[in-house]
């Protein structure tokens, strides 16, 4: 009969579609969790806050998952969103982070030894990365997360590979200067 | 590759290793469950967001309507008489005698080969009779309307207030008016 709509079949299609979508999101969540947490951690220096921000980014990604089905697009969007949320969080909790920064610098044990030296070195490295301009900082962070190569970073930031290369070079130079 | 370049690369690699160690955090086992909880809690939050947008849209529509339906007329500027004679204001430009400079020379605009046509004042008759309101009253009315739209002013008590009815008098049936008797004044008339 013309105009007849098989409601059950249509409902089944929607259910299938939703199930496929859920499965796809679950895959993205599994493969990009570390990326999101590390990006947030690079900004916040605080594990719990980093997880919180990364979870929020995933929740937002789920809301827009219809436009983010493509894997590369999803990861690029997730990195940008996580970075932005982490920056916002850090701005809003600057006072608390200042306290934790002081805690970090005083976290080195008083006793001399390799561990104390390593902690001091890590604290200096954090401060040096923190002192970089945002464009250089995000490149050095992404290049050192999950062994991304230049092309990966370029895709994540949606900029040419040459731009990533020059920014990475500048970032390393600045870091070496700051650490000397 | 020169020894300097080799040393540079070694230094870069060492720096990268340090940074990688710095960022080497893994999500906790509860991380994915936390994402799921957030997504499950989304519908309520999404509904609140939609309600907020609905309220904002209604407010925008109300403001737009008030802007459209509020009569707005440009402020009239009273002509000032400073520096111009009353004749200049009353008579059209062509009929006013051209004044010569005080030094008796040529007028400033006479040197121009082109004479600028005098601007013709536009007299547009308004389609409706113009309602004149004092600026203070206009401002007060606009402030009132804006206050009502913004929710700062509540006119409900005013609209619900009962106005006192006109006092109705009882019909007078048994009204007795005594005739007025005027006694003649003694001694005036013979």
Exposure string of A61-78, with b = 16+ CB inside 10 Å and e = fewer, is bbeeeeebeeeeebbbbb
Q: What 3-state class would DSSP assign to A139?
A: helix
Residue A72: per-residue pLDDT? 85
Model confidence over B104-143: pLDDT tens digits?
A: 444 444 444 444 555 555 655 556 666 677 888 888 888 8
Kindly report which listed range (A146-155, B4-13, B139-148, B158-167) carries the lowest average pLDDT score. Answer: B158-167
pLDDT band for position A179 (50/70/90)? confident
pLDDT band for position B94 (50/70/90)? very low
Mean pLDDT across A115-123: 82
Exposure string of B9-26, with b = 16+ CB inside 10 Å and e = fewer, is eeebeebbebbeebbeee
Mean pLDDT across B3-13: 81
Residue with tokens 């690029």: A76
Residue A15: per-residue pLDDT? 67
Is B40's Cβ below 8 Å from some Cβ in A? no
Mutate to test the interface with A, among B5, B18, B21, B23 (most CBs of A within 10 A): B23
Q: Which of B15, B27, B8, B12 is nearest to A122 (CA)?
A: B15
**Considering the entire predicted model, what is its pTM?**
0.54
- What does the alpha-carbon distance between residue A31 and residue A27 come to, in Å, rounded to a whole number? 6
Residue B96: per-residue pLDDT? 46
Is B25's Cβ below 8 Å from some Cβ in A? yes
Model confidence over B58-68: pLDDT tens digits?
A: 888 888 888 87
Is B12's Cβ below 8 Å from some Cβ in A? yes
Mutate to test the interface with B, among A51, A85, A153 (most CBs of B within 10 A): A51
- The distance of B19 to chain A (nearest Cα, Å) reads 7
CATH hierarchy code of domain A1-99? 1.10.1740.10
- The distance of A3 to chain B (nearest Cα, Å) reads 34
Judge contact between A48 and A15, C-beta under 8 A. Answer: no
Q: Judged by CB atoms within 8 Å, which residues 125-154 of A form the interface with B?
A: 125-126, 129, 140-141, 143-145, 147
Nearest to B27 among A33, A144, A172 (CB): A33
- What does the alpha-carbon distance between residue A90 and residue A49 come to, in Å, rounded to a whole number? 9
Mean of the per-residue pLDDT values of chain A: 84
Percent of chain A at pLDDT > 70 equals 82
Is B7's Cβ below 8 Å from some Cβ in A? no
Nearest to A141 among B23, B32, B34 (CB): B23
Mutate to test the interface with B, among A39, A45, A59 (most CBs of B within 10 A): A59
A119-180: which CATH architecture?
A: Orthogonal Bundle (1.10)
Judge contact between A58 and B38, C-beta under 8 A. Answer: yes
Beta-carbon separation of B23 and A62 below 8 A? no
Tokens of A53: 């921000």
Has residue B53 got a pLDDT over 50?
A: yes
Has residue A157 got a pLDDT over 80?
A: yes
User: Taking the domains of chain A in order of start, what are their residue ranges?
Assistant: 1-99, 119-180
């Amino acid at each position: 009969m013309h105009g007849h709509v098989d409601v059950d079949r249509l409902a089944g299609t929607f259910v299938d579609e939703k199930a496929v979508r859920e499965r796809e999101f679950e895959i993205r969540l599994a493969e990009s969790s570390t990326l999101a947490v590390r990006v947030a951690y690079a900004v916040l220096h605080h594990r719990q806050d980093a997880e919180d921000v990364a979870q929020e980014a995933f929740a937002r990604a789920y809301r827009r998952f219809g436009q983010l089905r493509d894997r590369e697009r999803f990861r690029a969007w997730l990195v940008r969103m996580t970075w932005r949320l982490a920056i916002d969080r850090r701005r809003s909790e600057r006072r608390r982070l200042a306290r934790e920064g002081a805690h970090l610098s005083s976290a080195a044990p008083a006793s001399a030894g390799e561990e104390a030296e390593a902690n001091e070195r890590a604290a200096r490295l954090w401060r040096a990365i923190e002192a970089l301009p945002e464009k250089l900082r995000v490149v050095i962070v992404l290049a050192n997360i999950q062994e991304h190569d230049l092309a990966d970073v370029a895709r994540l930031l949606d900029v040419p590979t040459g731009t990533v290369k020059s920014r990475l070079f500048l970032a390393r130079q600045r870091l070496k200067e700051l650490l000397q | 590759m020169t020894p300097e370049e080799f040393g540079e690369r070694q230094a870069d690699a060492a720096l990268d290793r340090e940074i990688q160690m710095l960022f080497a955090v893994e999500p906790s086992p509860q991380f994915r469950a936390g994402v799921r909880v957030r997504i499950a809690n989304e519908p309520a939050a999404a509904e609140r967001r939609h309600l907020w947008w609905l309220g904002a849209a209604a407010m925008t529509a109300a403001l737009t309507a008030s802007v459209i339906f509020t009569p707005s007329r440009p402020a009239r500027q009273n002509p000032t008489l400073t520096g111009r004679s009353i004749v200049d204001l009353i008579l059209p430009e062509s009929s006013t005698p051209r004044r010569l400079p005080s030094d008796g020379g040529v007028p400033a605009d006479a040197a121009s080969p082109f004479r600028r046509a005098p601007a013709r004042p536009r007299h547009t008759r308004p389609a409706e009779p113009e309602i004149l309101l004092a600026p203070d009253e206009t401002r007060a009315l606009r402030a009132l309307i804006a206050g009502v739209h913004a929710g700062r002013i509540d006119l409900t008590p005013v609209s619900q207030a009962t106005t006192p009815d006109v006092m109705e008098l009882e019909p007078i049936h048994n009204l007795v008016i005594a005739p007025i008797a005027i006694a003649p004044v003694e001694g005036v008339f013979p």
